[in-house]
Structure 1
Amino acid sequence: MTTSNTPGTGDVDPAVREELARLRDSIDNIDAAVVHMLAERFKATQQVGHLKARHQLPAADPAREARQIARLRTLAENAKLDPAFAEKFLNFIIGEVIRHHERIAEDAGRNAVR
C-alpha cells in the first residue's frame, strides 16, 4: 500500500484540518443566514407584488431598480466586496421578483375575470 502526499488523504496536519472545519462551519452558518434572509426578502416582495396587482401597477420599476443597484454597489465597495458581483447578484434577485410579480398579476387578472 502506498501513501499519497496529496491533501485529504489523511496526512494533513490535524491543526490544519481543525481550522478548515472551523472555517467551513462558519461558511455553513453564513449560508443558512443568507437563505433565511432571502426567504424574508421574498416574503416582502410577494406582498409588494400583490399590492401592485391590486392597483394595476407594473411588475417592474426600472427607476427603483437603478437606485437599488447603485445603493448595493456602494454597500459592496464599503464592505470590500466586488461591486460587479453584487450587481449581478441583485440583478438575478430583481429578475426573480419581477417574474413573481408578473405571475401574481396574471393570477389576479384571471381571478378578476371569474
Structure 2
Amino acid sequence: MSEPRDAETYDPLATSLSEATDTAILDELYAIRGSIDNIDATLVYLLAERFKYTQRVGRLKAEHELPPSDPNREAAQIQRLKRLAADAELDPDFAEQFLNFIISEVIRHHQKIAADHQ
C-alpha cells in the first residue's frame, strides 16, 4: 500500500480531551487509535479493490444488456454477510445496513456504465 495522500495533514494525536488527562491513558488511547487507523486504511483499500471488480461486472452487464440490479444475488449476499457478522460478533443489522449502502453505490455505478454504453 502506498502512503495516503493526506499523510502530511493527518494528525494521529488529534484529540478534544483535556490536557489534564493522564499521559499514560493518552498513550494507551493513541496506541489503540493507531490500530483503528490502520484498519480504516485497510478497509478503504479493500473497498477500492471491491469496486474495481464491481465495475467489471457493470461493464459486462452493460455489454450484454443485463439489468444493473440483481435482487436475488443482493438478498443472498445480505443473508450471507449477516451470518458472517453474527459469527464475527458484529451486529448483523449493522452489516446489512453497510452492505445495502455498498449495493446501492454499485447499482448507481452500473446504471452510469449502462447509460454511458448506450
Please state if 1:72 is matched with 2:84: no
| 1:8-87 equivalences in 2 (<5 Å) | 8-87=17-96
Distance 2:59 2:18 in 1: 54
Give the equivalent residue in structure 1 for 2:113. Answer: 104
Q: Can you list the C-alpha shifts for 1:13-53, whole angstroms capped at 9, x where unaligned? A: 22101100001101110100000000000000000000000
Q: Pairwise CA RMSD of aligned residues?
A: 1.0
Cα offset for 1:9? 2.5
| Paired letter, 2:112 | R
Structure number with larger C-alpha Rg: 1
Distance 2:103 2:17 in 1: 40
TM score, norm. by length of structure 2: 0.85
Cα offset for 1:65? 0.3
Distance 1:54 1:18 in 2: 54
Distance 2:55 2:86 in 1: 29
Give the equivalent residue in structure 1 for 2:102. Answer: 93
Q: Runs ≥4 in structure 1, deviation > 4 angstroms?
A: none
Point out where structure 1 has 5 or more consecutive residues left out of the alignment: 1-6, 110-114
